[in-house]
Amino acid sequence: MSEGNPTRVAIACQGGGSHTAFTAGVLRTLLEEWDDEYELVGISGTSGGAFNALGTWYGLVTDDADRARAILDGLWTDLAADGGQDRWLNSLVTTLSRMESAGFPLPTISPYQVLGPEVGKQRLREVLERHIDFDAIPDLCQEHVPELVIGTVDINAGVFETFVNEEVTVDAVLASAAVPNLFEAVEIHGHLHWDGLFSQNPPVNDLMRLPPERKPEELWIVQINPQEFEGEPDTLDVIADRRNELSGNISLNQELGFIERINEWVADGKLPADEFQRTTIRRIHMGTRFHCSTKVDRDPAFLDELRSLGNQRAREFLDSRPGS
């Protein structure tokens, strides 16, 4: 950070279904404590992380941090299971998910064979459009507005695809959350898209491609999936849990490893410091392991628990910063 200038920060929000309520708690606290010491230059997200990134971005560019925090609250209140029938359905889905991961023989049904998944997707669409005016997004993408990046996978081309700034539509956000065994793919520009968990989770590269004067000096990763594991997974549910965690971390760590290599080359003089920005990577870990089946759990009490944990981890993160 240059003397007198704020440190440029980008935030990347990892996906993980209902577990990303944790990220909402993190972002609410960061926004509450945000000051002139930092400038947000970009925010990205995948799956549930995309909901949080979008809500934060939209609140900030249309108003202020308080508006962003209110949108995050509204999104997760509306996503929670509400009413007796919805709570019963949520309990059923969570139980079946746990049984499946434990190896119980359950009938498998494609989301294309039943109506329920599309009803669920329509509910997500309604929640998003209740809080976000997607038609207004292109006009909000001005020169000094933070970069907004949403991650998906293009099934047909076999590559990850990000939607940036004015490209972000409600379909792009729904595609980022379209888990293949739960939802039908989302068609965008003639190609079908699935959940971005298969690719950049969360998107980082687009944040690092900002112009030199906007490139982040710090990259804050909100990481849902635990990084480390003690011992050996030896039961079907634990194996499934660890596979799920690794699928969300390996691609992320590869991207972060490349950034760290660039930092080393700049420090060693192999790359010119006036052309390449060193970026400090900081992680905000959830730090608590929940069973992978709870990634579909929308129980209000569970979501509140996750948001409270996010608040706690964010405060620990802020207190641990140099100079705090």
Provide φ and ψ at 116, rounded to 5°: -50, -50
Span 259-309, pLDDT tens digits: 899 889 988 888 888 778 899 999 999 988 888 788 888 999 999 999 999
Report the percentage of the chain scoring pLDDT > 70: 90
> 177 near 50, Cβ under 8 Å?
yes
Would you place residue 88 in the very low, low, confident or very high pLDDT band (cuts 50, 70, 90)? Answer: confident
Mean pLDDT of the 222-244 span: 84
Positive or negative torsion for Cα 306, 296, 155, 123: negative
In a domain, 1, yes or no: no
> 178 near 161, Cβ under 8 Å?
no
In a domain, 65, yes or no: yes
Tell me how many domains the chain contains: 1
Q: How far apart are CA 216 and CA 278, in angstroms?
A: 9
- Spell out the alpha helix ranges (H) of the chain: 21-33, 48-62, 65-79, 84-101, 116-131, 137-140, 170-176, 205-208, 236-267, 300-320
Mean of all residue pLDDT scores within the chain: 88
Query: Could you tell me the pTM of the whole model?
Result: 0.92
In a domain, 186, yes or no: yes
Q: How far apart are CA 49 and CA 297, in angstroms?
A: 16
Could you tell me the residue range of the domain that residue 201 belongs to? 7-319
In a domain, 184, yes or no: yes
Please state which of the ranges 103-107, 222-226, 227-231 shows the lowest mean pLDDT: 103-107
In a domain, 123, yes or no: yes
DSSP string, 192-211: EEEEGGGS-SS--HHHHTS-
In a domain, 310, yes or no: yes
Would you place residue 39 in the very low, low, confident or very high pLDDT band (cuts 50, 70, 90)? Answer: very high
Most confident of 18-27, 80-89, 225-234, 244-253: 18-27
β-strands 191-195, 147-154 pairing:
antiparallel
- CATH code of 260's domain: 3.40.1090
Would you place residue 317 in the very low, low, confident or very high pLDDT band (cuts 50, 70, 90)? Answer: very high
Mean pLDDT of the 152-157 span: 91
The identity of residue 282, as a single letter, is R
β-strands 159-164, 186-188 pairing:
unpaired
Provide φ and ψ at 23, rounded to 5°: -65, -35
pLDDT value, residue 301: 95
Instruction: Please say if the pLDDT value at position 113 is more than 60.
Output: no
In a domain, 191, yes or no: yes
In a domain, 2, yes or no: no
Instruction: Please say if the pLDDT value at position 2 is more than 50.
Output: no
